[in-house]
Chain A
Amino acid sequence: MNLMGWIQLAVFIIALLAVTKPLGVYLTHVLDQDGRTWLDPVLKPVERFTYAIIGRESTTEQDWKSYALSVLVFSAAGLLFTYAILRLQEYLPLNPQHFGPLSPDLAFNTATSFTTNTNWQNYAGETSMSYFSQMVGLAFHNFVSAAIGIAVAAALVRGIASQKTKNLGNFWVDLTRVSLYLLLPLCILYAVFLISQGMIQNFKPYDTAQLIEPYSAQVAQKDSSGQVIKDAQGSSVMMEQRVETQSIAQGPMASQVAIKMLGTNGGGFFNANGAHPFENPTPLSNFIQMLSIFAIPSALTYYLGRMVKNQKHGWSVWSAMFIMFLVGALVCWWAESQGNPRLSALGVDSSFGNMEGKEVRFGIFNSALWATVTTDTSCGAVNSMHDSFTPLGGMVPLFNMHLGEVVFGGVGSGLYGMLIFVVLAIFLAGLMVGRTPEYLGKKIESYDIKVAALAILIPSIALLGFTAVAAASEWGLKGLNNSGPHGLSEILYAFTSAINNNGSAFAGLSANTPLYNTSLALAMLIGRFFVIIPVLALAGNLAGKKAAPMSSGSFPVSGITFTLLLVGAVLLVGALTFLPVLSLSPVVEHFLMVNSTQLF
């Protein structure tokens, strides 16, 4: 934990604070159907044209059921659309490498993954996806899934802010306006910046480079059908292969990466994601990419404060998120700086920390910070291999996701997830002030508790359930590269990432099998829509309530007490649910590493 790290952390925090308010104010205009922005002259005609296509009548105010139905219909259509593209990419344009179709389960997994803003990738982009698939099939979702998240968050905030109404706004309007006024212009600027840093943006076939130092490698011998030949003992027959050239992948990357970060999507253009020199060329691009992950989720807390006319509340929610982010980042940074005691024991210099699986350009601090940021939010882009983190360092990303992606969280999903915790925390502790618990003057009653509890209950059950089944079945264990507690971490991480729509992988788990593809896809769907539906139901119910005027007897929703209460509630729910399984995976792995000589 060196001085440069502390300075970078401080700069990161200042930069985050600096973008929160301006972007938050801009969001209030974007999310208001009649809001004005300085882009109106250019984009208003496009917006009107969009409404003309979908029909003016479908832009009227919706109640929660209608809003939810629109989200589901649109997502389902998008899922099918992308599934079709992935299955048919060989017949579609922009496929210079002539990639064939994805298998049905992989296509389902991938289409689901992008529809749900997860961007879990059981494929390697540069060896399986055409440019068309990437730009149309996947990037489309990068925009709209982010927009859906923001729209749902806005609907919930409107439900909290408004009184005695059924209306939550209109989904199609929100979708259109967020995409047009927020994501598109920001991404254009952002992509230009990334290109300036050296990121590629082209439609060229892959380059082939002559290696300056050709080398030989042992590779598994394959028969004519591509199957690995096994010997009598069942191990692969190896042969020596001379490597003289390297294929260098190309593509329209900057435009993809901009929305990948800003929309907390995280799906890498290449398999190496943010660790690849093309996908993350400079320290500045690394810094801005981390910042852009947090930008919109952070700004949404400001939007919350504006809308409920209690900016302190917005900042309190922000502070709760910030505290959890900071603690996570520091623990992860500390754990990675410590290095591996077993390697130190062998005389390896541990002053650089645990550099296994990390890009040398970024080092310990930027890898740890990125890992924390990407898992606090539902981004999931990586610039280092989380699988290679120390047990405790790797537990931070894992536990961040277990908290439900509410530490800033995904665009929109972070805020609505956090507001669920706000409702629960207020209900738990609110009785203690001697009144029926109220959130901003609105009584929290059994219906609200029912839906809020469901939004936390369903994903938790699914997460533990899927992980337990996988850990107890042959298909689940077959994909493991590591045994012992670390293997359990890998399975747990996969389902945690899917349920919470994060998309980062612990790697080490070969999950491109029909059962993993399918179960992970189901997990992603559950984690997305079985949260969105209760959230909208909560929004609808809150919107119909009358707010009691605030007084000194009202539950305080700002200030240190509230912030700590919220942090406590999030941590308590996360810890109580996942401590047992975590203690069997990273925790026990840590103690085995420290107190014995076992490594996994």
Chain B
Amino acid sequence: MARKTHSLFDRSILFPAIRESLLKLNPVHMIGNPVMFVALVGAFVTTCELFVPSRGESIWFLLQITAWLWFTVIFANFAEAMAEGRGKAQAETLRKARTQTTANLKEPNGAIRQVLAESLRKGDTVVVKAGEIIPADGEVIQGAASVDESAITGESAPVIREAGGDRSAVTGGTRVLSDEIIVSVTANPGESFMDHMIALVEGAKRQKTPNEIALTILLAALTIIFLIVIMTLKPFGAYSGAAFSTTVLVALLVCLIPTTIGGLLSAIGIAGIDRMIQNNVLAMSGRAVEAAGDVDVLLLDKTGTITLGNRQAVEFVPAPGVTVEELANAAQLSSLADETPEGRSIVILAKQFGIRERELSDFEKAEFIPFSARTRMSGVDLNGERYRKGAADAVRDYLGGKLPPEVDSTIERLGSSGATPLVVASREKVLGVIHLKDIVKGGLPDRFERFRAMGIRTIMITGDNPLTAAAIAREAGVDDFLAEAKPEDKLDLIRREQSAGHLVAMTGDGTNDAPALAQADVGVAMNTGTQAAKEAGNMVDLDSNPTKLIEVVEIGKQLLMTRGALTTFSVANDVAKYFAIIPAMLVGTFPQIYALNVMQLASPQSAILSAVIFNALIIVALIPLALKGIRFRPYGAAVILRRNLVIYGLGGIIAPFIGIKLIDLLVKAIGLA
């Protein structure tokens, strides 16, 4: 996805949104939102009233009220259109990337035939050469290539896609930069990742989340109560000798029903998904975004999430009678054939001891023994000397079962501090120990501390032994860890946490992560991961950055907070509206009630008009907040509740008193009423 973000009131979004907000007046569309539907009916009724001979109220006043009621509805539609507009703009960018392509279909008999990309079906095999666009989602079955995935991720650095392993998935619409790969198609046209993504950002398939449904029910209930309040006000008025005009009653109704939250509700939901997209996380549903807010356990893989991908050599500890330089030399020699990142870091560390970097080709007579998972050692046989480097017990076995006691104690010391000791030996002699250390990513302990304050527990998953795991867990500040974990242990852990009532989020990329990703309440699959992982999760991180899980949770929480804050604000607003409208309605019949006009509004007409105008404008005023979300602060629930109640609850009571008064002054000054 183009990482270009759209500013809040971008022209390319603004104008279509205005058009859209009028089209959305269609009652069939509006009925899904009971609050705004009632407002729409109200606007319609007052419009009809305009044609009935007016009783007492001036036509100019009725006209203004009617106009503002229509604006109320249109502003609400506008908020929704704005939120959708940003997604639509992004979808447009994606569509452009998905130009017509042709594919080199490989027939079963080996012949290559040019076909249109749309005609490809699941199971077809295609050949993609350098410079070509991958025609469909698929799995690399042969070869390796560097691929430019910027169309999806916005990241310009190419990535490697190769057959076998966890980096075999390719996405239709991305471009092969070098080499040639053979891809087995895994998605039919219209079901591809790109299609899916377009539909998601456009919000075309958006469904109300459970939470939105519950809130809509509550808002509908409030609306019904206010309907009854207003309907019964007519007979009560008749009893009291006060004849309330229908227009005024409708104005009061529209002011009282929670139009502010009713108008912004869907915009908030759309904006939540949109914020995920801006973070390059593709949430498969609004429900997943909400679930992210509810999560209270994070499963974090140690490697790549908590620590930098690989361990690094940080120290050489020589055995008695061996110099550091001797050890460094042997360590480097024995690691030349070790292509793992750990091996390379040993070579680099050795350079600090004055040993120049050597290449394999420097040694013609040498026989290199590459690192293998089975022997857990690497080494070199050179000039009759055999240098070996490897895990402590592997080297111990190699030497026939004994290590010097000093070396043993070094191994134990390093092991208990969470580091990984590697032992270096020559033919008969132990030369020393290499200290390999996991490097914890910067800033994590702070973030985990913030999570703890929010009641979220972090659990580190690692294949390391418990001792190492405990040390890293301590350093990173996670709450708990699962050591010596096998892929199936992850699934068990999730099930265990869930049965204790927790909601769990995790990230994963491999095929063996898929069951756990599916089981987790929020499963974020890495875009570099396998197709199976992407399908199992309910979010995809296009940046493939596992630490992003933290942002995902924050965005989810922010979405829920925004919805709650605006609901509270909307309901609290009603107090002031009563104080504006009720005295205005009664003062004609009972002049003594003037004392209730606490805002000292100029006249009954201006009071009612000001309340209606405030009610309409507040929707527009809050659109930026609805789209951007309220500020997220990582505190405990009690603190956040107190804070937000003061800002949006108390503020919601006070703000309209000020707002209505100001509008009233303006209305009076320019003589609207």
- Bound state CA distance, A174 and B61, in angstroms? 61
Could you say which residues of chain B place their CB within 8 Å of the CB of A469?
A: 235
Q: Which residue of chain A has its CB nearest to the CB of B590?
A: A588
Q: Are A548 and B296 in contact (CB-based, < 8 A)?
A: yes
Question: Which residues does chain B contribute within 8 Å of A568, judged by CB atoms?
Answer: 649
The size of the chain B interface, using a CB distance under 8 A, is 72
Q: B residues within 8 A CB of A428?
A: 218, 564, 567-568, 571
A465 close to B232 (CB less than 8 A): yes
* Chain A residues within 8 Å of B474, by CB: none
Are A553 and B455 neighbours in the complex by a CB distance under 8 Å? yes
A485 an interface residue at 8 Å Cβ cutoff? yes
* A549, B499: Cα distance in complex, Å: 11
Q: A425-436, CB under 8 A of B: which get 1 and which 0?
A: 001111111111
B225 touches which of A432, A460, A468 (Cβ 8 Å): A460
Report A551-595 CB contacts with B as 1/0, cut-off 8 Å.
111111001010011001000100111011101100110011011
CB within 8 Å of A: which of B478-502?
Answer: 500-502
Taking a contact as CB atoms under 8 Å apart, the answer to whether B558 and A434 are in contact is yes
Per the bound structure, the CA–CA distance linking A544 and B71 in Å amounts to 45
Asked, given contacts A579-B582, A591-B593, whether A546 binds B501 with beta carbons under 8 Å apart, the answer is: yes
Q: Tell me if B290 counts as interface (CB < 8 A to partner A).
A: yes
Q: Please give the distance in Å from A398's CB to the nearest CB on chain B.
A: 14
Is A450 in contact with chain B by the CB < 8 A criterion? yes
Residue of A nearest to B650 (CB): A568
**B293, A434: Cβ atoms closer than 8 Å:** yes
B28 to chain A, nearest CB (A): 23
A441 on the B face (CB < 8 A): yes
User: Counting CB contacts under 8 A, is B130 at the interface?
Assistant: no
Whether A471 contacts B293 by the Cβ 8 Å rule is no
Kindly supply a per-residue 1/0 record for chain B positions 181-223, scoring 1 wherever the CB is within 8 Å of any chain A CB and 0 otherwise: 0000000000000000000000000000011011101100100
A444 to B214, CA, bound (A): 8
Q: What 1/0 flags go to B635-659 for Cβ under 8 Å of A?
A: 0111011101100110000000000
B442 within 8 A of A: no
Take A554-B455, A556-B637 as given contacts and tell me if A471 and B236 are in contact as well, using a CB distance cutoff of 8 Å.
Answer: yes
Q: Which of A435, A450, A472 contacts B217 (CB 8 A)?
A: A450
Complex contacts, B571 vs chain A, CB 8 Å: 428, 572, 576
Cβ contact within 8 Å between B582 and A553: no
Contact pick for B228, options A453, A461, A575, CB 8 Å: A461
Give the distance in Å from the alpha carbon of A577 to the alpha carbon of B231 in the complex. 12
Q: How far is the CB of A11 from chain B (nearest CB, A)?
A: 34
Tell me the bound Cα distance from A454 to B218 in angstroms.
10
Question: Which among A446, A554, A577, A580 has the highest number of chain B CB atoms within 10 Å?
Answer: A580
In the assembled complex, the Cα of A448 lies from the Cα of B293 at a distance in Å of 20
Interface residue? A464 (CB, 8 A): yes
Contacting pair A547 B575 (CB below 8 A): no
In the complex, A69 has a CB within 8 A of chain B: no
Residue interface bits B221-253, CB-to-A below 8 A is 1, else 0: 100111011111101111110100000000000
Residue of A428, A434, A559 with most partner-chain B CB within 10 A: A434
Query: CA–CA, A431 to B559, complex, Å?
Result: 9
Of chain A, the residue at the smallest CB distance from B595 is A591
For the complex, what is the distance from the CA of A472 to the CA of B575, rounded to whole Å? Answer: 28
CB distance from B490 to the nearest CB of A (A): 21
Distance of A457 from chain B, by nearest CB (Å): 5
Tell yes or no: B596 within 8 A of A by CB.
yes
Complex contact B240–A464 (CB within 8 A)? no
Name the B residues within 8 Å of A584 (CB-CB). 236-237, 239-240, 242, 586
Beta-carbon contact of B638 and A561 below 8 Å:
yes
Residue B256 CB within 8 A of the other chain: yes
Q: A432-B648, A433-B637, A441-B501 are in contact. Are A561 and B642 (CB under 8 A)?
A: yes
B86 at the A/B interface (Cβ < 8 Å)? Answer: no
Let me know if B637 and A553 touch, CB within 8 A: yes
Interface check B565, CB cutoff 8 A: yes
Closest-by-CB residue of A relative to B636 is: A552
CA distance A454 to B221 in the complex (A): 8
Contact, CB under 8 Å: B578 / A579: yes
The residue of chain A having its C-beta at the shortest distance from the C-beta of B455 within the complex is A553
In the complex, chain A residues whose CB is within 8 Å of the CB of B237 = 584
Q: Is the CB of A555 within 8 A of B637?
A: yes
Distance (whole angstroms) from the CB of A578 to the closest CB of chain B: 8
- Chain A, residues 329-350, CB within 8 Å of chain B (1/0): the string is 0000000000000000000000
With A435-B560, A449-B214 as known contacts, state yes or no: A464 contacts B638, CB within 8 Å: no
Q: A553-B454, A565-B645, A568-B649 are known contacts. Are A449 and B592 too (CB-CB below 8 A)?
A: no
A456 CB → nearest B CB, Å: 7
In angstroms, Cα B233 to Cα A8, docked, is 41
Contact residues in B for A592 (Cβ distance below 8 Å):
590, 592
Q: Contact: B453 with A552, CB < 8 Å?
A: yes
B233 partner, pick from A446, A461, A551, A580, beta carbons under 8 A = A580
Decide: B214 and A427 in contact? CB cutoff 8 A.
Answer: yes
A32 within 8 A of B: no
B274 contacts chain A at the CB level, 8 A cutoff? no
- Least CB separation from B500: chain A residue: A549
Option from A488, A555, A576 in Cβ contact (under 8 Å) with B574: A576
A434-B293, A446-B210 known; A456+B638 contact, CB < 8 A: no
Please, which residues of chain B bring their CB within 8 A of the CB of A449?
214-215, 217-218, 221
Interchain CA distance A531-B635 in the complex, whole Å: 38
Instruction: Give A145 Cβ to nearest chain B Cβ, in Å.
Output: 28
Q: How far is the CB of A429 from chain B (nearest CB, A)?
A: 6
Is B557 part of the binding interface, using a Cβ–Cβ cutoff of 8 Å? Answer: yes
B637 touches A445 (CB 8 A): no
Q: Is the CB of B214 within 8 A of A445?
A: yes
Residue of B nearest to A442 (CB): B501
CB-based contact B560/A434 at 8 Å: yes
Q: Is A467 among interface residues, defined by CB-CB distance under 8 A?
A: yes
Say whether B509 faces chain A, with CB atoms less than 8 Å apart.
no
Contacts of A434 in B (CB 8 A): 293, 454, 556-558, 560-561, 632, 637, 640
Chain B residue with the shortest CB-CB distance to A572: B571
A window 287-302: CB within 8 A of B: none
Which of B218, B565, B582 lies at the interface centre, i.e. has the most chain A CB atoms within 10 A of its CB?
B218
Question: Which residues of chain A in 472-521 are interfacial with respect to chain B, using CB atoms and an 8 Å cutoff?
Answer: 472, 477, 484-485, 487-488
Given A457-B224, A575-B575, A587-B593, A431-B649 contact (CB < 8 Å): no
Q: Which residues of A contact B242 (CB under 8 A)?
A: 584
Q: Report the separation of the CA atoms of residues A354 and B150 in the bound assembly, to the nearest whole angstrom.
A: 82
| Complex interface: chain A residues within 8 A of B456 (CB) | 551, 553
Q: Which residues of B contact A432 (CB under 8 A)?
A: 560-561, 564-565, 568, 640-641, 644-645, 648
Complex-state Cα separation, A551 to B557, whole angstroms: 16
Is B139's beta carbon under 8 Å from chain A? Answer: no
**Chain B minimum-CB-distance residue to A469:** B235
Shortest beta-carbon distance, B619 to chain A, in Å? 19
User: Out of B215, B236, B294, which one reaches A468, CB within 8 Å?
Assistant: B236
A427–B501 contact, CB under 8 A?
no
Binding site for B on A (CB under 8 A): 424, 427-436, 441, 444-446, 448-450, 453-454, 456-457, 460-461, 464-465, 467-469, 471-472, 477, 484-485, 487-488, 546-549, 551-556, 559, 561, 564-565, 568, 572, 575-577, 579-581, 583-584, 587-588, 591-592, 594-596
Using A575-B575, A592-B592 as known contacts, list a sample of 7 further A-B pairs with CB atoms less than 8 Å apart, ordered by residue number in A: A431-B563, A431-B565, A449-B218, A467-B236, A564-B645, A576-B256, A591-B590
Residues of B at under 8 Å CB distance from A?
A: 210-211, 213-215, 217-218, 221, 224-226, 228-233, 235-240, 242, 256, 290, 293-294, 296, 452-457, 500-503, 556-558, 560-561, 563-565, 567-568, 571-572, 574-575, 578, 582, 586, 590, 592-593, 595-596, 632, 636-638, 640-642, 644-645, 648-649
Q: List 18 A-B contacts (CB under 8 A).
A: A428-B567, A449-B214, A488-B240, A547-B501, A554-B455, A554-B637, A555-B637, A561-B645, A572-B575, A576-B256, A576-B575, A576-B578, A579-B582, A580-B236, A581-B232, A588-B590, A588-B593, A596-B592
By Cβ-Cβ distance, the 10 closest A-B pairs, closest first, are A553-B455, A431-B564, A434-B557, A551-B455, A453-B221, A432-B564, A595-B592, A468-B232, A446-B214, A552-B636
